[in-house]
Amino acid sequence: MQTIYILWLRQIKRYIRSRSRIIGALGQPLLFLLALGFGLGPVYQRAGGGDYISFLAPGVIAMSILFTAIFSGIEIIWDRQFGFLKETMVAPVSRMSIMVGRTLGGATVATMQGLIVFIITLFVGFRPESIAMLPAMFLTMFLIALLFTAIGTAIASVLQDFQGFQLIMNFLVMPMFFLSGALFPLDNLPKVVALLTRIDPLTYGVDALRGTLIGSMHFNFALDYSVLGGITVLSMIVGSYLFSRIQV
């Protein structure tokens, strides 16, 4: 338990010290909020969709969490190349504890980044439907962060270097984001696209986040949290197994 706490705290301290990382991670969410929010807002409103900023904000928050969480998991590759991982792995503790500690730390960091983006959305005109639902929003954000940090850890446990990183970005992370309904409603989609959105785990995170913030959902909380929780547990199990087989 102490090992988990130490690694969790280490991840948070590393994040807080890296001001450039915090600021750099805000560029993409700001671009989506300003360019899409205000650029497509009038079109979305004329189509009868209402305020596009309100629809877009939960998706942009989820996007920020997704990228930060995946990168937190991928940091294992960086630590392996520079020898930091070897120092951790030779410690007299189980690799399971190391993996859980790193994953919890990465998920906390991703949640913090999501909270920063949430605050930014308030400055561009977004307003939550109910203050009482904010605790549920925090829970949803942490579940999304935990899921994708575990996925990032599992991926990084297999990759030997950063050469496969662009492959992960282009064929996994970006499709998950664009197919999640973060930028467009999930109603009346073509059958193939609708199927892909249902396979995408981020879809359920965005839907739950949108439900807590604006009270609008495509599915329901029971389904969203069941899928998020189930895939998170599965990802933790797979990630722990792959992490235990890392050769340093």
Give me the pLDDT at residue 82, please: 66
Q: Tokens 């009482």 sit at which residue?
A: 132
Alpha-carbon distance of 134 to 160, in angstroms, equals 40
Alpha-carbon distance of 240 to 230, in angstroms, equals 15
- The predicted-structure confidence for 159-198, as pLDDT tens digits, reads as follows 777 677 777 777 888 899 999 999 988 988 899 999 999 9
- The predicted-structure confidence for 234-246, as pLDDT tens digits, reads as follows 999 998 888 877 7
pTM of the model: 0.90
Give me the pLDDT at residue 60, please: 94
Alpha-carbon distance of 77 to 104, in angstroms, equals 18
Give me the pLDDT at residue 29, please: 84
Give me the pLDDT at residue 23, please: 72
Give me the pLDDT at residue 195, please: 94
Alpha-carbon distance of 113 to 127, in angstroms, equals 19
Give me the pLDDT at residue 142, please: 95
- The predicted-structure confidence for 134-152, as pLDDT tens digits, reads as follows 999 999 999 999 999 999 8
Sign of the C-alpha dihedral computed for residues 13, 19, 20 and 21 taken in this order: positive
* Cβ-count burial 224-245 (b if 16+ within 10 Å, e if not): bbebbeebbeebbeebbebbee
What's the whole-number average pLDDT of the chain?
A: 84
Q: What's the pLDDT band for 1 if we cut at 50, 70, 90?
A: low
- The predicted-structure confidence for 33-91, as pLDDT tens digits, reads as follows 888 888 877 777 777 767 888 999 999 999 999 998 988 777 777 777 766 666 666 66
Q: Tokens 């492959």 sit at which residue?
A: 167
Q: What are phi and psi of 116, to 5 degrees?
A: -65, -45
